[in-house]
Structure 1
Amino acid sequence: MNDVLYGFIDYLLYEKELSQNTIESYKRDLEQFITYLSTIDTPIEQFTKTNVIKYMMILKKRGKATSTVSRSLASLRSFCQYLINIGILNKDPTINLKSPKQEKKLPDILTHSEVELLLSQPSNDTSKGVRDKAMLELLYAAGIRVTELVSLNLEDINLDVGFVIGGKNSSNERVIPIGKISIEVLSKYIKDYRDILIKNDNEKALFVNYYGNRLTRQGFWKIIKYYTKKANIDKKITPHTLRHSFAAHLIQNGADLKSVQEMLGHSDISTTQIYTKIENNKIKDVYKKNHPRA
C-alpha cells in the first residue's frame, strides 16, 4: 500500500509539478485514510463509496473543520483517479460525493474603542503622520477597499459636500458620504501637508509616498501593520478589517442593509448580510451574559 502512495507522490511531484506544501497535504490526508482502511481490514483495491462516507463522518466526529474534511475528500478524489489510471481501481468510489458545505466565516471586526485607539496613533503634526491619519480615517469613514483608497485622485473627493467616489471608472463606482472628523483630517492633509510630500505639481494621487509617487497597496499594508503594533491591539488587523468594522458598526447603529450594500459596492445583498450575523452573535452574547435564565 505504501508503494502505491509513494508512486502517487512521485506522480504529483514530477508530472503534476505541485508545490512541496501541497504534496505534503496530499500525503498526510491519504496516509490517514490508508490507516483507516487497515483498521477495517479493507485492501486499497476494494474500498467503496460507503467506506469513504464513513471516513468523512469519522473526521467530523473528531471535530475536524469542514475545510479539512473537504480537503481530505479532494485528496482522495485525485488519488482515486491515479489508482484508476494505473489499473488498481475499476471505478471511482468518490464519484458524485459532495464536499461538505462550508459556513461563511464571520469577518473579524474591531470594537469602537479599538477603532478609536488605532486612529489615534498617527502624529498630528508631521506630513507622514497626518497623511496616515487621513487614510485611516477615510478607510473607516467610507468603508472603501484599500485598492480604492490608493487609487483616489484629488478630484475624487469633495470636502465641501462631504463625499468620496469609490470604485471610479468601474461597474462598482459609487458616491459615499464621509463624516466631519474624516473631512477635517483630510482637509488638514490636503491644505497643509500634501504639498510637502509631492515632488511633481502635476501629481493627481490623493495619497503619495515618501518619494512623491502614488502610495501602493503594499505601502499601506506596512502602514496599518505599524500602527496596529504601536496601538498594542492584540488582533490581526488588515485594511479590510476597517472596511468590515465600518459595515458592522453601521448595522449595529441601525443602518438599513440596502444602504450599507450600496456604500460597500456589493453586487449581491447576500454578501452584505454577513454583517447582520455579527450583530446577531453580539445579541446572543449579551443575552447569555445578562439574562438570569440564559
Structure 2
Amino acid sequence: FQAWAAGAGVEPLLATATQLAAFQSWLVTVYRSPSGRPLAKTTCSTRLAQVQAWYRWAHGRGLICIDPSRTIGVHVPRSRVVVREYLTLQEATALVQTQAGVVAAAKAGTHTHAEAIRNLAAICLSLTTGRRIGGMTTLHVAHLDCARRELRIEREKGSTGRVLPVAGWAIDVAALYLREARPLLARGHDAPWLFLNLSGDGPISRDALRWMLEQLIVRTVAENPDLVELPTKRITWHSLRVSFATLLFSNGCDIRSVNELLLHRQLSTTARYTPIPIEDLRQVFRVAHPRP
C-alpha cells in the first residue's frame, strides 16, 4: 500500500475513499507478484483487510478524523479448499532421480558436486517431512538425528516444535551430505546451519532454494517427457509440502496425523489445502461404515 501511495502521490493519512477504491482496483487489475502472476482473490482480500485495520487503528488513535476505508468491500472466504499444485508419486520420484543424476554427473570432491548433494538432501527432506521453505533455511545440524531417523523442529511459523520422523532413504541422503558435501561447503567456517550457502558462513537463502527448484523442474520436465502434466504445473517449495501431505493421504494416513506432521494448529487448516479425492472418501466409507 505504501508503494502504491508513493507512486500515486497519495499521503496515506490524507487518503480519501475514492483514492482507496483506486488502490483496490490497482491491486486487483495491475499489481503482479514477484513471480509475475496476479494476486489470488484471497490474497487481495487479505491485503485490503490489512489496510482497513491500519486505518481503524489510525482513527482510534486520533490520527485521522474519518476512516476512509469503511467503504472498501472486503470478503475473505473461509473454510474452503485452497487448490494448490502438488506432485504425484511418479513426479516426485522423477524429481529426486533427476537431482540424483546431477550428483552423479558432477566430479566428486568439487564444490559443484557438494552443491548438488546439498540440493538433493534438501529436496528429499522437504518431500519426506513437509517443511516450509523458511523452516528449511533455519534447520541446524543438531536438529537432525540420523541414527534415530528424526528431525527436531524447534519453532516454525509460530507453531511450537516437535520431533518428526524422517524416511530412511532421505536420512541416507542427508547422511551423505553431512559426510561428503557439507564439510566442503563450510570452507572452514563453524556455522550451525544444516544447509549452507556457497560461502559456507551462513544458511542457504530462500531465493537460492527457489532458483534451485525452478531449474530442477525444468530439467525434470526435459528428461521425463512421459510426465505430461508436470509442465503445466507451477511447482514451488510449498508444493513440495502439499505433495508430502497428499501422498500420505493417498496411502491411507488419517488427517489428524498429517495435521501433527505439518505442525498445523487447527485441523481445518490441513483440510483446506490438502484435498481428499472423492474416490479415497468412497474407499474409506466402504471399509469403515458398518453394514446392517
Question: Shorter-normalised TM-score: what interval?
Answer: 0.5 to 0.7
CA-to-aligned-CA distance 1:168-227 (integer Å, 9 cap, x gap): 486421111011110111111111111111123422111112211321111111111110
Of structures 1 and 2, the larger Rg is shown by 1
Q: CA deviation at 1:275?
A: 5.2
The residue type equivalent to 2:94 in the other structure is L
Within a 5 Å distance, the mapping from 1:201-240 to structure 2 comes to 201-213=189-201, 214-232=203-221, 233-234=230-231, 235-240=233-238
Give the equivalent residue in structure 2 for 1:290.
none
Residue pair 1:131, 1:207 contacting (<8 A) in 2 also? yes
Q: Distance in 1 between matches of 2:265 and 2:198?
A: 36
Give the equivalent residue in structure 2 for 1:113.
90
Q: CA deviation at 1:163?
A: 0.7
Structure 2 CA distance for partners of 1:152 and 1:13, relative to 1, 3 Å: same
Mean Cα displacement is larger for which, 236-245 or 94-103? 94-103
Unaligned runs of 5+ in 1: 1-8, 30-64, 78-93, 287-294
1:157 and 2:157 correspond: no
Mean Cα displacement is larger for which, 122-131 or 168-177? 168-177
Q: CA deviation at 1:100?
A: 7.6
Q: Which structure 1 residue ranges, 4+ long, deviate > 6 Å from structure 2? A: 65-71, 94-98
CA-to-aligned-CA distance 1:135-164 (integer Å, 9 cap, x gap): 000000111111111111111000101011
Given candidates 118, 131, 134, the residue that maps to 2:118 is: 131
**Matched-pair identity in %:** 25
CA-to-aligned-CA distance 1:223-272 (integer Å, 9 cap, x gap): 11110111123111111100001011111111122211111110111111
Residue pair 1:162, 1:183 contacting (<8 A) in 2 also? yes
Give the equivalent residue in structure 1 for 2:131.
144
Give the equivalent residue in structure 2 for 1:279.
276
Higher relative contact order (CA 8 A, sep 6+): 2
Give the equivalent residue in structure 2 for 1:257.
255
Within a 5 Å distance, the mapping from 1:39-58 to structure 2 comes to none
Residue pair 1:165, 1:176 contacting (<8 A) in 2 also? yes
Unaligned runs of 5+ in 2: 29-39, 53-69, 105-112, 222-229, 284-292
Given candidates 241, 244, 247, the residue that maps to 1:243 is: 241
Q: Distance in 2 between matches of 1:68 and 1:263?
A: 26
Q: Distance in 2 between matches of 1:142 and 1:274?
A: 19
The count of corresponding residues between Structure 1 and Structure 2 is: 221
**TM score, norm. by length of structure 1:** 0.63
The residue type equivalent to 1:26 in the other structure is S
Q: CA deviation at 1:282?
A: 5.7
Residue pair 1:151, 1:205 contacting (<8 A) in 2 also? yes
Given candidates 160, 163, 182, the residue that maps to 1:172 is: 160
